[in-house]
């Protein structure tokens, strides 16, 4: 069976672990338990007639003090950069991570998830910021680990790109 490693990256508390729980176990919890180090999960899905095992590396959030360990990235075929749509500063964390990751991994496929899409009334990312990053080649997807919106679709879309 094809096997591909992907990493979930982003600032603290943006919903990386919740997205994996939603995708792998179809559950959501409001309780915030920060990830220490890395947690690895596996999900088998179909891409066309083939089965593909996605190995999901859910990596602890980072801020200006704690940066992602380069050793966690090794061998990743793609990644998801997660942003909390209610906290614009998490977009800038994602941008700084992206700068470092592209050096480590080269141009592998990735999506940028605008997560917590269910909290529309608190949405705080300026559309102009999104447009300028799209112009720079970022592909955004709106997701909610709480309602499930966009989650399955985005993992599937990434998997399709990795199966080639
Ligand atoms: N409303 C809402 N809350 C969410 C969503 N995703 C995550 N949360 C909440 O946000 C908090 C942080 O979620 P986590 O999944 O632990 O975030 P994380 O990115 O793994 O955090 P670290 O491991 O510390 O980096 C939790 O209280 C979750 O319940 C979402 O889509 N909508
Ligand atoms: Mg986590």
**pTM for the whole thing?**
0.96
Distance 164 CA to ligand 1 centre (A): 31
Residue ranges around ligand 1 (CB below 6 Å): 12-18, 29-30, 32, 34-35, 60-61, 115-116, 118-119, 144-146
DSSP 51: E
Nearest CA residue ID for atom 3, ligand 1 = 116
Domains, the chain, ordered by start: 2-163 (3.40.50.300)
Question: Nearest to residue 45, comparing CAs of 100, 2, 104?
Answer: 2
Q: According to the model, what pLDDT value does residue 96 have?
A: 92
Nearest CA residue ID for atom 21, ligand 1 = 13
Nearest CA residue ID for atom 30, ligand 1 = 116
Q: According to the model, what pLDDT value does residue 62 have?
A: 82
Q: According to the model, what pLDDT value does residue 110 have?
A: 97
The tokens of 114 are what?
Answer: 């605008």
Distance 68 CA to ligand 2 centre (A): 13
Q: What confidence tier does 64 reach under pLDDT thresholds 50, 70, 90?
A: low
Q: What confidence tier does 156 reach under pLDDT thresholds 50, 70, 90?
A: very high
Q: What percent of the chain has pLDDT over 90?
A: 86
Would you report the helix, strand and coil content of the chain in percent, each value rounded to 5? 35, 30, 35
Read off the pLDDT of residues 3-57 as tens digits, 9 standing for 90 and up: 999 999 999 999 999 999 999 999 999 999 999 999 999 999 999 999 999 999 9
Q: According to the model, what pLDDT value does residue 65 have?
A: 56
Q: What is the position in ligand 1's atom list of the atom closest to the CA of 20?
A: 15
Ligand nearest to the CA of 15: 1
CA dist 73 and 127 (Å) reads 30
Q: What is the phi-psi region of residue 91: left when phi exceeds 0, alpha when psi lies from -120 to 50, beta otherwise?
A: alpha
């Amino acid at each position: 069976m094809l096997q591909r490693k992907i990493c979930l990256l982003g600032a603290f508390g943006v919903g990386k672990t919740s997205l994996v729980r939603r995708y792998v176990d179809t559950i959501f919890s409001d309780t915030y338990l920060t990830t220490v180090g890395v947690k690895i999960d596996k999900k088998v899905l179909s891409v066309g007639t083939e089965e593909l095992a996605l190995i999901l590396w859910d990596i602890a959030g980072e801020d200006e003090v704690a940066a992602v360990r380069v050793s966690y990235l090794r061998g990743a075929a793609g990644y998801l950069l997660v942003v909390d749509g209610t906290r614009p500063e998490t977009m800038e964390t994602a941008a700084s991570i992206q700068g470092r990751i592209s050096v480590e991994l080269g141009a592998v496929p990735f999506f940028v998830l605008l997560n917590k899409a269910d909290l529309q009334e608190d949405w705080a990312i300026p559309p102009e910021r999104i447009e300028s990053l799209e112009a720079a080649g970022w592909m955004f997807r709106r997701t909610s680990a709480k309602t499930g919106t966009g989650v399955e679709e985005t993992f599937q879309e990434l998997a399709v790109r990795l199966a080639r």
